[in-house]
Amino acid sequence: MRIEDKLLLREIQKRNNEVFEALFHDYYAGLIKFAEGFVFDNEVCEDIVQNIFIYIWENAEFLNITTSFKSYLYKAVRNRSLNHLRNLKIEDKHHLLYIEASLNDPEMDMEDLEMIQKIESAIDALPPKMGKIFRLKYLEEKTVREIAAKMDVSENTIKTQLNRAKGKLRASLHQSLHINFLL
């Protein structure tokens, strides 16, 4: 750890608000851009970065930073972004299992049927290629690699389209169902 970083950590541990604010302003915008490379949702990226700075401020006396502050911050953003994506995948699976179970349930009530119809309509309203990618991934359970090969595009393109589809569906379903549907 460089001397400047040791001094910076020491000042934050002393609760020097000016030093902390300077650190925040120096890195905030760059960390948001970095997080967007993983998450593709600006609000989530802002939350991730803000939570890292809150963690640093609240736990300064316990921090054991062996690299530069810059390395520490970027690594923290990467790890939290990947954790967020991992959690989304779990949430997506739960929602898809619910939808699938509801479709196969003869006892389904009218509210569930209406919700499923709205979900299907929202998927149908996606741009054709985006809708196809979404259906292949979540309804046919294809991997990103399989979809990329089938559609002759890069895996990154598939990931980007899936993230955009989730954003569009989240917005559409939030408006039509008046709930915070976590896609």
Instruction: In whole angstroms, give the CA distance from residue 111 to residue 8.
Output: 56
* Torsion of Cα atoms, 101 then 107 then 109 then 114, to 10°: 40
What confidence score (pLDDT) does residue 112 get? 52
Q: What are 163-177's pLDDT values in tens digits?
A: 888 888 877 776 655
pLDDT for 49 beyond 70: yes
Percent of the chain surpassing pLDDT 90: 28
pTM attached to this predicted model: 0.52
Domains in the chain, CATH or no CATH each: 3-85 (1.10.1740.10), 105-177 (1.10.10.10)
* Cβ neighbourhood burial of 7 (10 Å; 0-12, 13-18, 19+): exposed
pLDDT tens column, 66-82: 888 888 999 999 889 88
Predicted local confidence at residue 91, as pLDDT: 57
Q: Amino acid letter at 83?
A: N
Tell me the Cα Rg of the chain: 21
